[in-house]
Each structure stands twice: as C-alpha cells, then as structure tokens.
Amino acid sequence: LSSANEGDAVAAAAGAWIGGTRSIAMMQNSGLGNAVSPLTSLTHTFRIPVLIVCTHRGARGVSDEPQHQLMGAITEQLFETMTIPWATFPRESNAVDPTLDALDRHMKSERRPFALIMQKGTCEPHPLGPAPRSDVLETPVIEGNDHARPEKERHSRSEVLRVLLDMTGDGNTVIVATTGYTGRELYALADRPNHLYLVGSMGCGSSLGMGLALARPDLRVIVVDGDGAALMRMGNLATAGAYAPRNLVHLLLDNEAHDSTGAQRTVSSRIDFAGIAAACGYRRVVRSDGLDDIERFLDADDGVRFMHFKIKTGAIDPLPRPSISPPAVLERLMEHIGTRT
C-alpha cells in the first residue's frame, strides 16, 4: 500500500495486524516525525507490534542533503526516546530471514513495535514495476441535502451514535471511533466487543479502519470520524478511495470544532468533504444532517462509501471515560473477530 504519509502507513499497518496480517511500515527517516503520534499513542498504547523499516538519510560520515543532517544524527535516539528497540537492517541477504524470524518472535512476546534502520547501499538497485492500474471511475453524484439545518437545530453526536448502534449490533461489524468525545460517547451509550475506542493518534482512525477492512473483507468496518481529525490527515481519503475496500464505511461527524479540547473552531465550515471524498474515489458519497439518511447509507452495499454529516457541538453530561484499558479493548475486539494471538 502507498500511504499519503508515514503516520498513515503505521496506522494502516496496525489495522491490518488487528485483522490478522503481520505488517511492516516502510519509510525514510526524514518523515519519521510524521509517524511519532501513532507510534507513541496508538501502537504503544494498544500494544500493536508493527515492524518499522526506516532508511537512514544523513547518517554520520555519509554525504547527504543539508535537510537530512539533524534527523540523520538523531534517528537512533528518536526511536530510543519512543522506547522502540532498533537494529541495523542486515547487509547480507542470508541474514535477512533469521533477523526477521527473531524480530517476529520478539514482537509476538512483547507486543510492541521494533525498528530496522537501513543504511545506504544495503539493497542492490532494482527496477520499479509498472504502477498498479485501476479502472477509470466516474465521479459519483453526491446524494443528500446541502446541510440545510441551522447549527442549533442539528442533531447531536449521541443521536447519530444511537442510530448507528441500533443498526449494527455486535455481529460482523466493527466500529472504529475517533479519539475524543466520539469514542467516549459511544462507550457511554453501549460498550460492545466490536467497538474500538481510539485514543491519541488523532486523525488515524480512517487509515487504521482501511487497513483492517483490507485485511478482513468479511467484516464491515465503520469508521466514525470527526472534522478535526479528518482535516489533520486528509490524505488518507485519497488512499482509501484508491484501494477502495468494499467493506469500509466512513462516517464523518462534523461540528466545525475540536469539541473535546475546548470547542475551538476548525475550518470545516468552508470545506466540501463530500466533494473531496467523491474526487478521491469513494464509490458512494452522501452529505446530510438527517438521521433517516444514516439508515439508508448504512443499509447500502455498493463499495467504499462516505457520509459527511453535520452535527452540533456538545456531548453527554456527565461524559464517562472507558473503564476498560485500551489493550483490553483491543484484546476483546480481536477475540470477537477471531484474530486474538
């Protein structure tokens, strides 16, 4: 998979691992900073053992561009600061398999990421194959209304989540709730084994859900996203649209605010999320602020789909935090879908 950035790659690999597929996230160290959030608050917090293969631009004693100087000098220390053990990627081909076997055993026992840092010249030149080709798709007609309700008359997040809960149960559907009030409200309304309440790693819900959906096409994966989170990692809309897992449902709840950090305004009032999703290749796109549309949207089965749903700010009061720990939430989910290790 070609992700839009390194953090999305880590989150997609984490989702695939949840679905039972061992995963590697490969990146250049100049983009390692983009992966810090999911490496410190997703894979570490939930104990997800993704293997990181990171090339080493700007290594000491190697001439390189000036922008790689600082990151080249601190790459190993950055992994150590994130408490991610690392080793040098082996330079001899006969050492690769034993190295991967040893790391696989280590990650299975520790349930943490491991990094292999690849020095320049480790791999021989290899020609790139042709880019994967896909059918040219017509941009879908965007369904639904144009968010006609005044802000104060919009539905609340909890009202939308109740509809979602009524229609999903805990069968072959997995609900990935973005960090903040969305996960906490979903937990407050109903705590089920098919729920994953993200913490930290803001914006990574859609890439994690995409990785899980690709690894497990037998599941319906519903990502409940927020406008702030979607804006933070909007590149994954392009990735999800390109790889287009039929079983991925992307529901974006937009209250035009970072609700859980003080309701500071986002710029989403000026953003056409539905238009962006349609241009990125989602097969069905809906824009709405009516609960009946959610039911029709969830009932459909016509490929990867996206709904931009306007809600008002605010949350259930008092709003509890999950009493179950993130690793326990994940273990319960993996047992539910049959991938618990």
Which two structure tokens, joined as six digits, stand for 65? Answer: 């561009």
pLDDT at 132: 63
Selected residue with higher pLDDT from 334 and 170: 334
pLDDT band at 134 (very low <50, low <70, confident <90, very high): low
pLDDT at 105: 93
Query: Coil, strand or helix: which one is 174?
Result: strand
DSSP state of 85: -
Strands 284-288 and 220-226 turn out to be unpaired
For the segment 84-133, what is each residue's pLDDT rounded down to a tens digit? Answer: 999 999 999 999 999 999 999 999 999 999 999 999 999 998 898 877 66
pLDDT(136) > 70: no
pTM score > 0.85 for this model? yes
For the segment 231-265, what is each residue's pLDDT rounded down to a tens digit? Answer: 999 999 999 999 999 999 999 999 988 888 878 89
Residues of the chain above pLDDT 90, percent: 82
Q: What is the mean pLDDT of residues 261-290?
A: 93
pLDDT band at 174 (very low <50, low <70, confident <90, very high): very high
pLDDT at 135: 65
pLDDT at 211: 98
Mean pLDDT, the chain, whole residue set: 93
Query: Coil, strand or helix: which one is 26?
Result: strand
pLDDT at 200: 93
The phi and psi torsions of 270 (rounded to 5 degrees) equal -110, 10
pLDDT band at 138 (very low <50, low <70, confident <90, very high): confident
Burial 230-240 (b: 16+ CB within 10 A, else e): bbbbbbbbbbb
pLDDT(323) > 90: yes
Selected residue with higher pLDDT from 201 and 61: 201
For the segment 45-85, what is each residue's pLDDT rounded down to a tens digit? Answer: 999 999 999 999 999 989 899 999 999 999 999 999 999 99
Selected residue with higher pLDDT from 300 and 79: 79
pLDDT at 173: 96
Determine which of 7-16, 80-89, 278-287, 297-306 has the lowest per-residue pLDDT on average. Answer: 297-306
Query: Coil, strand or helix: which one is 99?
Result: helix
Burial of residue 77 (CB within 10 Å: 0-12, 13-18, 19+) is exposed
Which residue's structure tokens are 């710029």? 267
DSSP state of 143: B
Selected residue with higher pLDDT from 340 and 181: 181
pLDDT at 151: 85
